[in-house]
Amino acid sequence: MNPRRRPPGDTIAAVATAPGRGGVGVLRLSGPAAFEIAAALTGELPSPRTAALRTFRDADGEALDRGLVLCFTAPASFTGEDVVELQGHGSAAALDGLLRAACVLGARVARPGEFSERAFVNGKLDLAQAEAIIDLVDAGSARAAKAAFQSLEGRFSTRITTLAEGLVAARVFVEGALDFSDEDIDWLADAGLHDRLAALDHALVQLLADAQRGRVLQQGLRVVLSGAPNVGKSTLLNQLAGVDAAIVTEVPGTTRDVLREHLTLDGLPVTLIDTAGLRDTDDAIEAEGIRRAWKAIESADLVWFLFDDRQGMSADDAALLARLGDDRPCWRLANKVDLSGGEPGWRADAALPTLGLAAKSGQGIPELVTALHRHAGLTGSEEPLFTARTRHVDALRRAAEHLARARDHLGQQAFAELAAEELRLSHDALGEITGRFTQEDLLGRIFAGFCIGK
Ligand code: GDP
C-alpha cells in the first residue's frame, strides 16, 4: 500500500493496556524520537524485535520500574514508524510515571486512536481494518471477536478491493468506448460488458448482505418494544435479561428520554428501545420526548408489538403498529397465553408474524430468541464473515444503487456518459470504506472513537 500522507513528525506515547491493576502494563512509543526517548528511559536498546530486561528510569535517573523493552524499526512496525514497547508492571501509578518521564524526554501523549491512525496514514492498514481493531477490542462475544479479527486480516477489505478493481475495468471500458463513439462499432452493446456488470452487481449485493450481518454482530440489532401499559413489556424484558446471563443497563434519564436496554441474547447484541408514552402528546416537553423516540425508532431494525392475548389488539394498537412498522419488519407478540389458553409459538394463520408467549413463565421466549438470530442472519451454520459498521453498509448500499443506475443507463446508449458517471460514483462509494476517498473530517471522527494507546 502507498503512504497516503506525509507521516506526522512528532513522537507519541500512551499506556496501551487497560487502566487499572494488572500483571503487566505496556507503554507504547511511536515516532522518529521513539528510540532516543526509550534509550534515555532504559539505557542501551536491544536489537529490533528482541526483548531485553531493563530498569526504567526517569530523566533524573530515578528508577521507576523494571521490565522488558521491545523495539520495532520503521517501516516494519504497527504504525510504520519506529516503535518501542516498554512492558512493566500493570500499576496505574507506575505506568503514569513512565508516561510522564517519556513526555519530559520529548514525547507527546497520544490522542485516542492515534497509533491506528498513523498505521492507516502510513499504509499499514486500510480504514476498514483500522476500524476492525476497535471492533476486536470491543467484541462482546467470541463470535464477534472472530469476525472482527477476519476484518482486521483484510477479509472485508479484499472483497471491496476486488469489486473496486472490477469497477475500474468497467469504467475504463465505458470511458474508452465513449472516446471512440464516432466509430461505427457499438462497443457498449458488447454482451461481455453487460455480463461483467451483472456479475459485479451480484457480488455487490452479496457483500452488502454479508456486511449487514457483520454490522449486526458488531453494533447489535435495534428492536423497538411497544404495546399498551400492563401487557407485559417489563416482564418480557426481565425474562430476556435472564437469557445467556445478559447484561442489562438502563440508560439513565427521565420518562421524557428514550429508554434503551442493552442485552446480549445468545451472543447477539440487542438494543431494545422502549416506546412507553408514545401516545401522550398534550404536554410540550413530553412532545420533545416523543420526537426523540420517533427518531430512535427510525433507525431500528425491527418492531416488537406486545399485546394481551386475552383481548387481542385494539384499534389504537393497530394504528400505532402500522405507523411503527411503516418500513421495517414488525412482529406481534401475543402475551399471557397462560391466561388466554392460546398456544405458545409462532402462529401460522396470522397475517403479520405473530408469536404466542407467556413472558412471565418464559414460554415462547426461546422461539423469540431463535427468530431474532435468524432475522440477524446469525444462524449457527452461517457465521458472519467479518464485522462491519453502519458507515460501511451505507457506502455499499450507495455503491449498489449507482451500479444499478449505470446498468440502466447502459441499456440506452444515449445515456452512456451518465453510465460512466454512475460507475465512478459507485467506485468512490467503495473507496470510502477502505479510506481511499474518505474526507479528513470523517477520518478524525472515526479515529476519535478508538481508545488511547490503540
Ligand atoms: P408493562 O406495563 O407492559 O411493562 O407490563 P408488566 O410487565 O408490568 O406486566 C403487567 C402485569 O402482567 C404484571 O402483573 C405481570 O406479572 C403480568 N404479566 C406479564 N406477563 C405475563 C404472562 O405472561 N402471564 C401472566 N399470567 N401474567 C403476566
Does residue 277 have its Cβ closer than 6 Å to ligand 1?
Answer: no
Closest CA to 102 of 22, 18, 35: 35
Q: How high is the pLDDT of residue 118?
A: 94
Instruction: State which H helix or E strand residue 149 sits in.
Output: helix 142-152
Distance 231 CA to ligand 1 centre (A): 6
Q: Where are the domains of the chain?
A: 12-125, 142-216+389-434, 220-376
User: What is residue 64's predicted lDDT score, i.e. its pLDDT?
Assistant: 92
> How is residue 252 written as a grid cell?
439513565
Q: Mean pLDDT over residues 91-101, rounded?
A: 93
Atom of ligand 1 nearest to the CA of 335: 23
Asked if residues 390 and 213 have their Cβ atoms less than 8 Å apart, the reply is no
Stated pTM of the model: 0.72
Share of the chain above pLDDT 70, in %: 84
DSSP-assigned beta bridge partners for residue 306: 333
CATH fold, domain 142-216+389-434, is: Four Helix Bundle (Hemerythrin (Met), subunit A) (1.20.120)
Residues 14 and 27: beta-carbon distance below 8 Å: yes
Q: Mean of the per-residue pLDDT values for the chain?
A: 84
For residue 301, give the C-alpha cell.
Answer: 431494525
- Residue of minimum CA distance from atom 11 in ligand 1: 230
Annotation: CATH topology of 12-125: Gyrase A; domain 2 (3.30.1360)
CA of 308 to the centre of ligand 1 (A): 9
Q: Are 155 and 129 in contact (CB under 8 A)?
A: no
Instruction: Fold for 220-376, please state it.
Output: Rossmann fold (3.40.50)
CA distances from 358 to 312, 335, 449 (A): 14, 5, 41
Residue 245, pLDDT above cutoff 50: no
Long-range (24+ apart) CB contacts under 8 A made by 349-352 are 352/325
**Which atom of ligand 1 is the closest one to the Cα of 229?**
2
- Choose between 281 and 69: higher pLDDT: 69
Write down the residue that cell numbers 447489535 correspond to: 220
The DSSP H or E segment spanning 407 is helix 390-411
Separation between Cα atoms, residue 194 and residue 176, nearest integer Å? 15
Candidate ranges 119-123, 191-195, 246-250; pick with highest mean pLDDT: 119-123
Q: From residue 401, give the alpha-carbon distance in Å to each of 17, 201, 397, 407.
A: 43, 9, 6, 10
Specify the range with the lowest mean pLDDT, choosing from 161-170, 215-224, 341-350, 376-385.
376-385
In this prediction, residues 391-415 reach a mean pLDDT of 89
Pocket residue to mutate for ligand 1, from 278, 338, 360, most atoms within 8 A of Cβ = 360
Q: Which of 231, 234, 235, 237 to mutate to test the pocket of ligand 1 (most atoms within 8 A of CB)?
A: 235
- Ligand 1 centroid, distance to 326 Cα (angstroms): 27
229 Cβ inside 6 Å of ligand 1: yes
pLDDT, average across residues 107-121: 93
Atom 17 of ligand 1: nearest residue by CA position: 232
User: How far is 412 from 174, CA to CA, in rounded Å?
Assistant: 13
Predicted confidence band at 4 (pLDDT cuts at 50, 70, 90)?
very low
